[in-house]
Amino acid sequence: MSVLQDIIAGVREDLDVRKQAVSLEELHKRVALAPPARDGLAALGGTDTARTELKVIAEVKRRSPSKGDLAGITDPAALAAQYNDGGASVISVLTEKRRFGGSLADLDAVRAAVDIPVLRKDFTCDPYMIWEARAHGADLVLLIVAALRDDELRDYLALTHELGMNAIVETHTAQEIERAVSVGAKIIGINVRNLKTLDVDRGVFAALAGMIPQGQVVIAESGVRDAEDVAHYASHGATAILVGEALVKDATPRERITEFKIAGAQAIRRGLIGAE
């Protein structure tokens, strides 16, 4: 069993417990009463005709399967506020509890603290989780191509849009990018971490980003250690970066986001000048 399969097995067990506590019908009622979702696509530059800056998706992340404990994060709302002040375009909240120490309570706290779009980052494996995300105020969800069949990917993306949300469709290989494009994904992430082995190869982004059609949001996921990594991703076509560990382990995450945004913008400008 791969690491990804093992994680999803645990997610399904925890999901069964939540389904017993809150029915899908109850989630439908909560969603009907909830404020409309914020436009995550626009926040990530999806409506811009020219790429002039690098967007940052800043993550609330306590733990990871590859690194273990990263940060205590006793107040996710306060951390999200720092991310917001630093210029993050989206806040990502891990809600998987077994490997990442997250919860829907973290999502609720972050949603109440910021007005920018919020991503529920989890291993979506059932439509219930998409309804659940919207009921808790999420504006975006994560759909991992490696974890879903083509029909599931298509149906889950359609449901996400029906609920007014956007989805980050995560890939790691050329074949997965083809699958993401074929279902009409507008926001495509390239995770340089192989979720089956947890190995990181930053070269994966440069090798694959050119496969994504122009006009789509292209997100570089994982592997951000410093401004040099940010510039690398920006120079190879990233619209946005998703970064967690480098921020939660930093004493000044607000300033670090600002630094990353400057590094990204400078790399983009160098690329534009070089293309003239």
Burial of residue 13, with CB atoms counted within 10 A of its CB: 0-12 exposed, 13-18 middle, 19 or more buried: exposed
What's the mean pLDDT in 29-45? 97
Q: Is 170 a catalytic residue?
A: yes
216-248 confidence digits (pLDDT tens): 999 999 999 999 999 999 999 999 999 999 999
3-state secondary structure of 220: strand
145-185 confidence digits (pLDDT tens): 999 999 999 999 999 999 999 999 999 999 999 999 999 99
What's the mean pLDDT in 245-274? 91
The residue annotated as part of the active site, out of 59, 96, 132, 245, is 59
Within 13 Å, how many C-alpha atoms sit on residue 149's CB side?
A: 4
276 pLDDT band (50/70/90 cuts)?
Answer: very low
Return the number of other C-beta atoms located less than 10 Å from residue 224's C-beta. 24
Q: Is 222 a catalytic residue?
A: yes
Domains in the chain, CATH or no CATH each: 3-275 (3.20.20.70)
Give CA separation, 40 vs 25, 47, 168, 228, 263, in Å. Answer: 26, 10, 9, 26, 23
The residue annotated as part of the active site, out of 191, 194, 245, 261, is 191
The residue annotated as part of the active site, out of 64, 84, 89, 222, is 222
49 pLDDT band (50/70/90 cuts)?
Answer: low
Q: What is the pLDDT of residue 275?
A: 52
> How far apart are the C-alpha atoms of 218 and 192, rounded to whole Å?
13
pTM of the model: 0.95
What's the mean pLDDT in 195-220? 94
Contact 121, 92 (CB under 8 A): yes
- 151: tokens are 């029909």
Q: Is 13 a catalytic residue?
A: no
